[in-house]
């Protein structure tokens, strides 16, 4: 993602939804995924409608990759999961607003070659359990458009390298469908997605999943 920090607000977007027993897909991550859940228009809600399958959702506002207790730690969210597909995002709450986390934080998240760090370690564990992974990179919000943040550029590049190493990992860029100059795509905080944006993100993910073989095998 470029120039954006998805800050956790002082209220929760919705409670943790959980994972149905028959879930083909589980969504995990931070507030971008969890937003709009209370109105049943989150990314997971839209993804369930577009794919016509049961979709679990363990994403939460405030969630981080490197810190956070319990489900506020994204690796904890997916620990033990073995759904056919896991949709993920994360890292913005670690890097922080104005990029204060910097290069050292990015390095802890993922190494320059995409092989090491907290994100690849989590993805490798999911892959070892047979799950395919979709990683959704962030968009730029209007609040932070025009403010260069090299850390997010580094994160995006490294995530794409991670995905290139494994056909079972799919990389999508939410910025492809969420331009920062369209106010209708953002909540009142001008950072989190509107229901329209959550649906666009789900459409992007669903299309990538189908291109990667979803629906043509034993999902």
| 123: phi then psi, degrees, rounded to nearest 5 | -65, -40
| Residue-level pLDDT at 217 | 59
Res 182 pLDDT > 80: yes
CATH 3.90.800.10 fits 25-211, yes or no: no
Number of residues that make up the chain? 219
3-state secondary structure of 166: coil
Which one has a higher pLDDT value, 140 or 6?
A: 140
| Residue-level pLDDT at 109 | 98
Q: In this prediction, what percent of the chain has a pLDDT beyond 70?
A: 90
Least confident segment among 15-29, 61-75, 163-177, 199-213: 15-29
Q: Stretch 92-109: mean pLDDT, rounded?
A: 89
Please tell me the distance from the alpha carbon of residue 105 to that of residue 96, in angstroms, as a whole number: 10
Res 201 pLDDT > 60: yes
pLDDT digits (tens, 9 = 90+) for 14-56: 445 678 888 999 999 999 999 999 999 999 999 999 999 999 9
Please tell me the distance from the alpha carbon of residue 152 to that of residue 3, in angstroms, as a whole number: 7
pLDDT digits (tens, 9 = 90+) for 57-82: 999 999 999 999 999 999 999 998 99
- Could you tell me the pTM of the whole model? 0.90
| Residue-level pLDDT at 40 | 96
Least confident segment among 52-56, 99-103, 210-214: 99-103
Res 118 pLDDT > 90: yes
First to last CA, the chain: 29
| Residue-level pLDDT at 194 | 98
Among 162, 167, 73, 149, residue whose Cα is nearest residue 123: 162
Which token pair is 156? 């995006």
Q: In this prediction, what percent of the chain has a pLDDT beyond 90?
A: 79
Q: Stretch 99-113: mean pLDDT, rounded?
A: 92
Res 120 pLDDT > 80: yes
Please tell me the distance from the alpha carbon of residue 93 to that of residue 73, in angstroms, as a whole number: 11
């Amino acid at each position: 993602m470029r120039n954006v920090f998805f800050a956790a607000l002082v209220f929760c977007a919705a409670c943790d939804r959980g994972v149905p027993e028959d879930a083909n897909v589980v969504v995990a991550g931070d507030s971008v995924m969890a937003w709009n859940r209370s109105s049943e228009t989150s990314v997971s809600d839209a993804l369930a409608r577009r794919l016509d399958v049961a979709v679990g959702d363990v994403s939460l506002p405030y969630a981080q990759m490197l810190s956070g207790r319990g489900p506020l730690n994204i690796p904890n969210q997916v620990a033990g999961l073995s759904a056919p597909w896991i949709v993920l995002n994360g890292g913005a709450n670690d890097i922080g607003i104005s990029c204060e986390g910097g290069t050292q934080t990015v390095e802890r998240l993922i190494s320059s070659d995409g092989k090491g760090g907290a994100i690849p370690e989590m993805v490798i564990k999911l892959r070892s359990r047979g799950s395919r992974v979709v990683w959704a990179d962030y968009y730029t919000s209007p609040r932070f458009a025009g403010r260069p943040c090299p850390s997010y550029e580094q994160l995006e590049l490294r995530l794409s390298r991670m995905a290139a190493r494994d056909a079972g990992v799919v990389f999508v860029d939410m910025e492809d469908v969420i331009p920062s100059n369209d106010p209708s795509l953002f909540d009142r905080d001008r950072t989190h997605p509107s229901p329209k944006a959550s649906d666009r993100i789900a459409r992007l993910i669903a299309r990538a999943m189908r291109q990667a073989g979803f629906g043509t095998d034993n999902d």
